[in-house]
Amino acid sequence: MNAMHVTVLQDLARLGGETGYMERIIGGLAALQLRVAQHPLGFGQWLVALDGALAMPVACRHRAVWI
């Protein structure tokens, strides 16, 4: 999974109201969590995806747990 894939899944979740996409979105973001934190300038699209995930309505991310 890449950052653009996560971003597109976010758009699908917003447009269709599908909460099942959140598991895949969280998995994609969690996989690179440490690398993104260490080298944020090298992961621009991942940061866009993270921002989008955090901005999603609570109903779409009810299973999400952010640290």
Is residue 46 situated within a structural domain? Answer: yes
CB-CB contact of 25 with 6 (8 Å): yes
Asked whether residue 18 is domain-assigned, the answer is yes
Query: Is 4's pLDDT higher than 70?
Result: yes
- Contact (Cβ atoms closer than 8 angstroms) between residue 46 and residue 8: no
**Which residues lie below 8 Å from residue 10, measured CB to CB, with a gap of 6+?**
21, 25, 49, 52, 53, 56
38 domain residue, yes or no:
yes
Q: Is residue 61 part of a domain?
A: no
pLDDT for 37 equals: 85
Q: In the prediction, which pLDDT does 66 show?
A: 44
Kindly tell me if the per-residue pLDDT of 62 is higher than 70: no
What's the pLDDT at 67?
A: 39
Over the stretch 5-48, which tens digit does the pLDDT of each residue have?
888 888 888 887 777 888 888 888 888 888 888 888 888 888 88
With respect to residue 11, please indicate whether it lies within any of the assigned structural domains: yes
Q: In the chain, how many domains are there?
A: 1
Q: Could you list the residue range(s) of the whole structural domain that residue 10 is in?
A: 3-55
